Chain A
Amino acid sequence: MTEVPALTITEPSQATRRAQQGKGYWQRVWERLQRDKVTLAMAAILALLLVMVVFPAWFTVHDPYQASVLHRLKPVGYPGHWLGTDEVGRDLWSRMVYGGRLSLVAGVLPVFLAFLIGGFLGILAGYAGGLINTVIMRLVDVLYAFPSILLAIAITGILGSGLKNTILALTIAFVPPLVRISEAVTAQARHLDFVEAARASGAGIFRILYYHILNNVLGPILVYATSLISVGIILAAGLSFLGLGVTPPNPEWGLMLNNLRQALWVDPVVAALPGVMIFITSMCFNLLSDGLRQAMDVRL
């Protein structure tokens, strides 16, 4: 099942290596990225996708909500609708572009929110240790008892469908792994020699956090978060597929996939297209995440 990737944290020796790289580390990351053609290509595609969903009017001609009974399920290549029309006669290309908005928001925003919330809690737990750590990590363990999809379905199934609940459910599902990973890398970084030295010399907490911890910790957390995005997109589409996510008549890839299922016998290509979009976007994020991982030399 679509899942949250497993965590195995690196040995302290590698963390030390990274820690000792300081500012020059990010320079090296950037250089490595520049040489990685595949990742750059993925980034370019995603950037294009981003532009398309932020400015959909530049790329589409039709209104994605405009239905037309006479033009239902027209095939690819139909005059005026280059990707055909859906089961109510709406232009499929427009629905895909506008749908990208909802699908991406539903996939990316929860990861971003979980990154902020989970990152904060995890770094706090990892740095503070003691009681704070115990409390936070045990609470997270309770959430961790649920596979992410079960949690997402339970929340949306019970609280109701809609974009807000989908984002809420996915955020809650993603916070635990992000807390765990942030806590793990922070706890490792904290025990490094130069950090101990900084503390011993009386440096303020924020100074330590900013200069020493964050630098080393953000890398792995970022890589992990980007790998979650594709999971988020697939899960959000899956929830809509079950009727628990975005509600009609809004365009969203998972919802479109569900609505077009029946069209499989009338025009299979049109019916398959939203799935292709989900696949491409998901694939791009996965490859991007892999590339970042290579560049940041993170073993996750």
Chain B
Amino acid sequence: MWAYTVRRLLYAVPILLGVSMLVFALIHLAPGDVVDLLVPPEVPREIADSLRHRFALDQPLHIQYLAWLGRLLVGDLGISFFTNRPVSDELFGALGNTLVLAVPAALLGFGLGTLLGALAAFNRGTGLDKLFSATAITGVSLPHYWVGIVLVAVFAVVLNALPAQGMGPAGIPTSWEQIQHLILPVVTLSLIPMGVVSRLVRANVLEILSQEFVGALDAKGLLRRRVLYHVMKNAAPSTLALMGLQLGYLLAGSILIETVFNWPGSGGLMNLAIFRRDIPVLSATILVLATIFVAINILVDVLQALIDPRMRR
């Protein structure tokens, strides 16, 4: 078990190295130059060049890469070109804000999805199954940013019941003032995980139900509850894998919802960095999100191996 975990962790190192190279290459492939966005157009060449030098943009690429990598390894994510604040401050603050959205959305989506999927599977073929399956497929077919816009129009503007945008006071949401800002974006974000998890759980549960050992358990007269427990335990590994992926997507892919709701999370930060060509912020954000994704995948693999030793590769 430990050997497996260690192997997975070690394996992540070359992956992350590859990721960093990819991010760096991508960013330097971009047309245009950050200095052009940082200063007004009428700035004389010499000043623009001195700025370029100050941000070390005139060094050869591999030197820039190694310098950047070196700094990353000691935790220095650089300074934003635009705000002159350390990237780590901005990024981790923003990530925190995204987590405030992503975690409840994940819980809601996974919980509701598992419930709907299991219910659908256990009631296969009935109207209930069709209803839940339709809900699930709707969840994955809807452009959720559009749903967000519609929800804002209905609940914020027409009904004036919830805020139209923004995060409200920062920090872990405990007060109604904070929670009211959460409701619409979390519901919107949870649609896709709900749909995906629901479909997978239904498929998995159906498959397990169709296997012989369940019939055997039933025949033995085991309580429905115990059967359920066995079924869910067998469905768990692949469901967990999916949930891990979904959490990663929620963290990284919240950009669309954050745009609609003006939420100051990592998606919004990335959007801003792209528009302003703020290279340190952009590269650090992409890298950190990818690292988190890799970490989640490792965690999921280890959990899977724990539950079902057959899955170890």
Contacts and interface: CB of A to CB of B under 8 A. Distances in A.
Interface of A: 1-3, 5-6, 8, 138-139, 141-143, 145-150, 153-155, 157-160, 230, 234, 237-238, 241-242, 244, 254, 257, 261, 264-265, 268, 272, 275, 278-279, 282-283, 286-287, 290, 299
A1 B253 contact: yes
Contacts of B251: 147
B146 interface: yes
A241 B137 contact: no
B149 to A, nearest CB: 6
A286 B241 contact: no
B19 interface: yes
Given A145-B15, A145-B294, A286 B141 contact: yes
B245 A6 contact: yes
B143 A157 contact: no
17 contacts: A1-B254, A2-B144, A142-B19, A143-B22, A149-B253, A157-B270, A157-B282, A158-B29, A158-B282, A159-B31, A160-B30, A234-B143, A257-B143, A275-B143, A279-B142, A282-B141, A290-B137
Interface in B184-208: 189, 192, 196, 200, 203, 207
A277 B286 CA distance: 32
Nearest to B19: A145
A2 B253 contact: yes
Contacts of A3: 192, 196, 245-246, 249, 253
Nearest to B195: A286
Given A1-B250, A150-B286, 8 more contacts: A138-B14, A150-B290, A238-B145, A241-B259, A242-B271, A264-B153, A287-B137, A299-B207
B33 to A, nearest CB: 13
B181 to A, nearest CB: 20
Nearest to B249: A1
Contacts of A283: 137-138, 141
B127 to A, nearest CB: 15
Contact of A145 (B31, B150, B293): B293
Contact of A278 (B140, B146, B196, B271): B146
The dominant DSSP class at the B interface is helix
B252 interface: yes
B274 interface: yes
B31 A160 contact: yes
A230 B141 contact: yes
A298 to B, nearest CB: 11
Given A145-B15, A257-B146, A6 B256 contact: no
Q: Give me the 10 closest cross-chain CB pairs, A-B, nearest first.
A: A1-B253, A142-B18, A157-B274, A275-B146, A1-B249, A282-B141, A283-B141, A149-B253, A147-B252, A150-B252
Residue in B141, B142, B270, B293 with the greatest tally of chain A CB atoms within 10 Å: B141
B88 interface: no
Interface string B66-93: 0000000000000000000000000000
A244 to B, nearest CB: 8
A244 B271 CA distance: 10
Contacts of B189: 1
A141 to B, nearest CB: 6
A165 B249 CA distance: 22
Contact of A1 (B16, B192, B294): B192
A279 B143 contact: yes
A158 B285 CA distance: 13
A289 to B, nearest CB: 10
B255 interface: yes
A154 B26 contact: yes
A283 B23 CA distance: 34
B238 to A, nearest CB: 4
B252 A149 contact: yes
A3 B241 CA distance: 13
Contacts of B209: none
A189 B95 CA distance: 43
A220 to B, nearest CB: 14
Contact of A153 (B143, B146, B153, B274): B274
A272 B144 CA distance: 13
Contacts of B141: 230, 234, 279, 282-283, 286
